[in-house]
A and B are shown apart, each in its own frame.
Chain A
Amino acid sequence: MTETLDPDGPSKGTVTLVHLYPREMSIYGDLGNTRALASRIRRHGYTAEVVDHHPGGELRADAHLLMGGGGQDSGQARVEADLEAVGPTLKTMAADGVPMLVICGMYQLFGNSFHTVGGQVLPGLGILDVTTRGNDKRMIGPVCLETEFGRVVGYENHSGSTVLGTGQEAFGKVLAGHGNNGEDRTEGARTLHVIGTYLHGPLLPANPMVSDALIAVAAERATGRPFEPEDLDDPLADEARGRQVRRLVGSR
């Protein structure tokens, strides 16, 4: 399904946003991330073309922006075959600098491999240099990160424990919460414009500066011109985020 949102004034160009597996991998309100991106693309004066990618469908290799969410084990099983088929395309797109946001289960699938508690090794796409091991302990709770985009808030709920490869950049440094593995204070991973993270919330509505970073790259790819942002005011998001930051880390 494709949905098009036009800006109020003349459009600066069309940004194509692909939501990977919205049915199978969209638990914990991940749909909110797609809505946040689409709405923000529109408010910046661009047309947002939102494309749902379902298993068996043709992946839009010309997409300017991708979003993939978390799922349950059964959801992951349903997308496995398709992900293997579109994997090489995703890998090429990522290497070419296409911005992507992958959350939780999809973050793990974008890594090198997932090692189950039972000792099975499931290969990932290898877009992010991370390795995840199944764990008996679930890491659950509110999170606050320091990132290059500023302080980011969200909620984590994962049993996989993820370790970054040598030289792999994290998405952020944990100020409150568990992060990738509860030990090294890293959270998520970032390579070029691909961000992988465990944060639900959903992530983007309350952290619009992350949306803008992704959209800036996407808009430039879509139009061939530098991003021409509007000066947007986000009082609700700022207040929602600010309150969580104060609750979780105080005024540090």
Chain B
Amino acid sequence: MLRTAAAVAAGKTVRALARRRGGGSAFPGLVAERIQPRILRRALADIPGGIVVVSGTNGKTTTTKMLVAVLRAHSRTVFSNPTGSNFTRGVLSEMLPQLPVSGRLEADLVVVELDEAHAMRFVDEVAPTHSLLLNVARDQLDRFAEIDHTADLLARLGAASTEGVVANADDPFVSRAADALDVPVRWFGLDASIADRLPEITEHDSRFDDAPTTRDPGAGDARLRPRDERAFDVVFPDVAVGPVTLRQRGLAAMINATAATTTARLLLGDDFDPSVAAAALAAVQPPFGRGEVIDVDGQPLELVLVKNPAGFGVALNTYGSTPVATMVAINDNDADGRDVSWLYDVSFASLRERGVALTSGVRAYDMALRLHYDDVAVDRVVPDLEEALDAFVAAHGGEPKRIFCTYTAMMALRRTLAARHGLAHFGEDAPA
């Protein structure tokens, strides 16, 4: 007990110091963990409403945010890790300021997003009551090596969940993993009316496998049914949530909303209120870098995070209908994925008509070369990000702009933009 109090106190101190330095989000968790290794298990011992792990390759941050918003709109207190530091220690670091010295977190529910590998470390400490399995796509092969391995990690997360699993019916890897589970599974997916848009959001590597199994929606399963480009309903067999218009664009965001709604209903049971859910979803701000819009000299500049072929493909599809001045910034640090080969698994044909104003980042020339192979004209190649941003804004001052960027490129660009245009800090929401 004393040890826990010491761990909590030490962690809080380090967190306060780290924040003053503007630094790392996982370090305070590490300190607390060193002093009391069981701190996470103890902290989550008294959560009555459920411990939910959200995992998968793409959409974790958005989906977690939506799920938390819907639960809170139903008057639940929810602990989550909103900074996108989807590692076990990041979860702990985030938890520290809310933790009394007893070390027991007081909340109705816990919803955490974890990447597949860290989800395994989390379940070693704490058995989740529920998990939400989004998708499996090729991402950062440096770390996970193979997509089959990633799929296996998600299957193990599902198997570790004690009460229920929510799974993507349209993702062959997730669907195969969830089919083998003993706990009840709720499915989300595309309505039959838009099944033809599935290729937009699935990893092509998986497509040569058998045709996806069509399953009839059972009780508690939900389907996404768009009304137009922006408005949609989440349709359960007995009730529909909608129409909803998200602040974030694109089919992928709609699927994330469908996943979040399916999970919220499973968690809330009879307390689930479709109109409350619809209103909550409509109010969710896009998370950091997922279609975030910054005002630069009276014109919108969109920052779009790209980190793997499926995600880049979805982003190009989402924004393809409104071509604007475009910059692409590719770094190859650990957090970006050090291997840039994946750029050749993305089709850039949708940028052909308008061309690309600049490529930038450490691999600016590799990106320009990649675009060259898709016959996309590139006006300039400027590896230095700050210089590139200035040149981009100067050349396209009077019009909307969009930057596709990898993670560390986005962090650097965001710092520059923050200094000049008063942005919110990383992990915090921009003012509504």
Q: A residues near B, CB below 8 A?
A: 23-24, 27-32, 35-36, 39, 72-74, 138, 140-142, 155, 157, 159, 200-202, 205-206, 236-237, 239-240, 243
Contact = CB atoms under 8 A, between A and B. Distances in A.
A73 B373 CA distance: 29
11 contacts: A28-B342, A29-B342, A31-B344, A39-B373, A73-B148, A138-B145, A140-B338, A155-B339, A201-B341, A205-B370, A243-B365
Interface in B97-151: 138, 141-142, 145-148
Listed from nearest, the 4 A-B pairs whose CB atoms lie closest are A32-B344, A29-B344, A29-B341, A240-B365
Contact of B339 (A28, A30, A32): A28
A200 B344 CA distance: 11
Contacts of A206: 366, 369
Nearest to B143: A140
B205 interface: yes
A205 B142 CA distance: 21
B339 A157 contact: yes
A205 B365 contact: no
Contacts of A24: 208
A188 B300 CA distance: 49
Contacts of A32: 341, 344, 370, 373
Contacts of B138: 27
Contact of A28 (B141, B208, B373): B141
A36 B374 CA distance: 11
Interface in B324-342: 338-342
B69 to A, nearest CB: 36
B279 interface: no
A237 B366 CA distance: 7
Contacts of B352: none
B371 to A, nearest CB: 9
Interface in B135-173: 138, 141-142, 145-148
Nearest to B205: A27
Contact of A205 (B147, B342, B344): B344
Nearest to A22: B208
Contacts of B340: 155, 201
A74 B149 CA distance: 11
Given A72-B148, A200-B339, 14 more contacts: A27-B138, A27-B205, A28-B141, A28-B341, A29-B341, A31-B345, A35-B344, A155-B338, A200-B341, A201-B339, A201-B340, A205-B373, A236-B365, A237-B369
Contacts of A27: 138, 141, 147, 205
B338 A240 contact: no
Contacts of B383: 243
Nearest to A24: B208
B47 interface: no
Contacts of A30: 341, 344
A167 to B, nearest CB: 32
A200 B343 CA distance: 12
A202 B341 contact: yes
B141 A36 contact: no
Contacts of B227: none
Contact of B338 (A23, A142, A202, A237): A142
B142 to A, nearest CB: 6
A200 B376 CA distance: 23
B421 interface: no
B222 to A, nearest CB: 30
A39 B369 CA distance: 12
B141 to A, nearest CB: 6
Nearest to A199: B341
A23 to B, nearest CB: 4
Given A141-B338, A236-B365, A36 B373 contact: yes
Nearest to B368: A236
Contacts of B148: 72-74
A212 B143 CA distance: 34
Interface in B176-218: 205, 208
Contact of A29 (B145, B343, B365, B381): B343
B3 interface: no
B154 to A, nearest CB: 16
A28 B141 CA distance: 9
Contacts of A201: 339-341
Contacts of B373: 32, 35-36, 39, 205
Nearest to B332: A142
A74 B343 CA distance: 23
B34 interface: no
B38 interface: no
